[in-house]
Structure 1
Amino acid sequence: MGVGMEVPELMTAQQVGRLLGVSTETLRKWRAKRKCLPYVRVGRHIRYRAADVAAFVERGTVMPA
């Protein structure tokens, strides 16, 4: 990795599921449908960048009029 390159925090599907209040099966279905939550494949493992999860939550935030 280059000098000054920041390594993102990677979260497991279990961690993301708990945070979002959904099951890991729901996350799997979202991946299959290419729903808007980006993920990283590390070998056979699926990981989510913490910043991507935060952005996903932010995009879903609805502000009252």
Structure 2
Amino acid sequence: MSRLQSAQPDPRATLRGGLPDRYLTPEDIANLFSVPLETVYAWRKKRTGPPGFRVGKHVRYDPAAVRAWTDEQATQAA
């Protein structure tokens, strides 16, 4: 594999609107907003954070829904 090929980004991780093109984990949300993981779980419990869904016992977030929630928060703050 050449240097050029290894420098190419993984197509599965292509950013769309600043977010990865994959479902996000609670850890991803905590890192994205620079908040503790416990805050993400509190948002979910209170239904105040980005909408998530369950895949079995795991919580995941759709990047498009996270972007919409972020835009809504920015609009409400303005």
Q: Which runs of 5+ in 1 are unaligned?
A: 1-7
Distance in 2, Cα, partners of 1:60 & 1:17: 16
Across the aligned residues of Structure 1 and Structure 2, the Cα RMSD in angstroms comes to 1.9
Larger RCO of the pair (alpha carbons < 8 Å, separation 6+) = 1
Question: Which TM-score applies when normalising by structure 1?
Answer: 0.74
Give the drift of 1:20: 1.1
Question: Which TM-score applies when normalising by structure 2?
Answer: 0.63
Distance in 2, Cα, partners of 1:36 & 1:23: 13
Higher helix share: 2
Q: Which runs of 5+ in 2 are unaligned?
A: 1-20
Structure 1 residue runs of 4+, over 2 Å off? none
Residue-pair matches, total: 57
